């Protein structure tokens, strides 16, 4: 009923901007509502271990509620259906480190739809400056999203006493993640991919920017022996340019997710492995090989996606082998 009505309204020339504004307002109200609920639950964190466990359970429910509400809007109002990877293994009993490419802020919504019901919804490593984001920043902090503080080489040169404090800050923010199996999602490109950024970097990759893998090393070092593989996620679009406004207006034609598990080398699983310190070179050598492989796979997957658009009966199976 709602979809049929919106399809008719789409014929009106002014409707898409109105829909985009309505979508933006919905997203704002939705995130504020669930953030408010998180603040109301927060006092439980000051109680006993039992109360803290209750709080974590409530936070998970609130997180799932936020994702479900967004999904309802995307499906019922914007008529968007993500092409998700059903082969993703369901596992709520282990820690998962998830790494994805980054093309648009919409990636987050697609990835959460992929992960929901398969793994614990992920905590995203956030820059410490985002803590000051009104309402949402404190809500993510309350819910246990880890914050990372990085000092530049210039800052460390001027203030050498700060050396190692960035790792200590990250370790403290990960403490709650160690208490029970959790998922962590990170975009190691550090910014959204565009052709202009790729050219400016003189990147050797065709579909990815150069990785900033130091954060992954921090995660592995602060959570020793919790993570034994990387859940690799590729978000694919059949459009060259994906703007947030296009998505809010319902102009996203197709998006697909491809998932695979990448085992970490045996040496990385040792409690003595220090990828952010003395083992940094070995870690970066392995990670760069992984990133190159990810780029090649994305090329095959995008080619298959385009081929399936040209020939609908052809399944998109390339890139999984």
Q: What pLDDT, in 10s, does the model give residues 49-88?
A: 999 999 999 999 999 999 999 999 998 898 888 899 999 9
Residue 142's nearest CA partner among 4, 227, 38 is 38
Q: In the predicted model, is pLDDT for residue 140 greater than 70?
A: yes
Q: Are residues 189 and 298 in the same domain?
A: yes
Total structural domains within the chain: 2
Q: Are residues 99 and 198 in the same domain?
A: yes
Contact 95/223 with Cβ under 8 angstroms?
A: yes
Helices assigned H by DSSP within 123-213 = 136-142, 153-158, 165-173, 195-201
Q: Are residues 86 and 8 in the same domain?
A: no
Residues linked to residue 232 through DSSP beta bridges, in sequence order: 99, 260
Most confident of 78-87, 93-102, 306-315: 93-102
Helix axes 49-72, 107-115, angle to 10 degrees: 120
The model's pLDDT over 225-252, given as tens digits with 9 standing for 90+, comes to 899 999 999 999 877 777 788 888 888 8
> Alpha carbon of 75 to those of 1, 68, 159, 248, 254: distances in Å?
13, 10, 51, 12, 13
User: How much is the pTM?
Assistant: 0.85
- Round to whole Å and give the CA distance between 143 and 168: 20
Q: Is 128 exposed, middle or buried (0-12, 13-18, 19+ CB in 10 A)?
A: middle
Q: In the predicted model, is pLDDT for residue 108 greater than 70?
A: yes
Q: Are residues 113 and 5 in the same domain?
A: no
Q: Are residues 66 and 193 in the same domain?
A: no
Quick one: pLDDT at residue 316? 45
Mean pLDDT on 206-213: 93
**Secondary structure of residue 86 in the 3-state scheme:** coil
Contact 305/256 with Cβ under 8 angstroms?
A: yes
* Out of 143-152, 162-171, 188-197, 233-242, least confident range: 162-171
- Round to whole Å and give the CA distance between 110 and 106: 7
Q: Average pLDDT, whole number, for the chain?
A: 86
Domain that holds residue 17: 1-79
Q: In the predicted model, is pLDDT for residue 39 greater than 80?
A: yes
Q: What angle do CA 115, 99, 130 make, to 5 degrees?
A: 90
Task: Please check whether residue 132 lies inside any domain of the structure.
Answer: no
Task: Please check whether residue 65 lies inside any domain of the structure.
Answer: yes
């Amino acid at each position: 009923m709602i979809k049929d009505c919106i399809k008719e309204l789409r014929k009106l020339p002014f409707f898409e901007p109105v829909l985009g504004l309505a979508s933006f307002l919905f997203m704002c109200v939705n995130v504020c509502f669930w953030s408010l609920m998180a603040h109301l639950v927060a006092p439980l964190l000051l109680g006993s271990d039992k109360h803290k466990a209750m709080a974590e359970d409530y936070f998970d429910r609130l997180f799932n509620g936020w994702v479900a509400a967004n999904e309802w809007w995307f499906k019922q109002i914007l008529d968007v259906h993500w092409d998700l990877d059903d082969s993703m293994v369901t596992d709520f009993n282990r820690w998962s480190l998830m790494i994805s490419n980054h093309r648009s802020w919409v990636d987050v919504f697609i990835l959460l739809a992929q992960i929901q019901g398969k793994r614990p919804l992920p905590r995203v490593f956030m820059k410490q400056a985002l803590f000051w984001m009104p309402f949402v920043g404190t809500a993510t902090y309350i819910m246990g999203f880890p914050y990372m503080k990085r000092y530049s080489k210039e800052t460390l040169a001027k203030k050498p006493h700060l050396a190692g404090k960035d790792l200590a800050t990250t370790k403290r923010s990960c403490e709650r993640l160690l208490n029970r199996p959790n998922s962590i999602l990170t975009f190691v490109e550090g910014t959204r991919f565009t052709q202009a950024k790729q050219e400016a970097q003189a990147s050797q990759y065709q579909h990815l920017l150069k990785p900033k893998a130091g954060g992954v090393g921090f995660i592995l070092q602060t959570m020793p022996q919790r993570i034994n593989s990387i859940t690799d996620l590729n978000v694919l679009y059949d459009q060259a340019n994906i703007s947030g406004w296009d998505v809010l207006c319902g102009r996203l034609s197709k998006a697909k997710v491809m998932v695979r598990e990448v085992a970490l080398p045996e040496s990385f699983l040792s409690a003595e492995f220090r990828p952010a310190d003395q083992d940094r070179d070995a870690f970066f050598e392995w990670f760069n090989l992984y990133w190159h492989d990810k780029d090649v796979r994305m090329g095959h997957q995008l080619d298959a996606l385009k081929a399936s658009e040209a020939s609908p009966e052809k399944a998109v199976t390339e890139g999984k082998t």
